[in-house]
Amino acid sequence: MFASFEPLTLGHLTWLLGKKNLMELFDVTDMLGSLFPRTGDSEKDTISPFHRSIKDWITVKASSCVYFVDEKFGHQI
């Protein structure tokens, strides 16, 4: 999600996480609470971080430690 150039659709995220359907995906996204809101409940709706500070935190190794996401590597793959 952090390496994506645009918000991910729920359908794409379902596939990426190996979920069978949106209900399985919602089990995961509901745990994220309001940090990653969905624009709706269909496969074409999107999910993205609520605020830029979440991305700023997780893409800096010194602040995020084990949760670090290498944005540049994500762009490559």
Cα-flanking dihedrals φ and ψ of residue 62, to 5°? -65, -30
Q: Is the pLDDT of residue 37 over 90?
A: yes
pLDDT given for residue 77 in this prediction: 77
Full-model pTM: 0.80
Instruction: Identify the band that residue 60 occupies on the pLDDT scale cut at 50, 70 and 90.
Output: very high
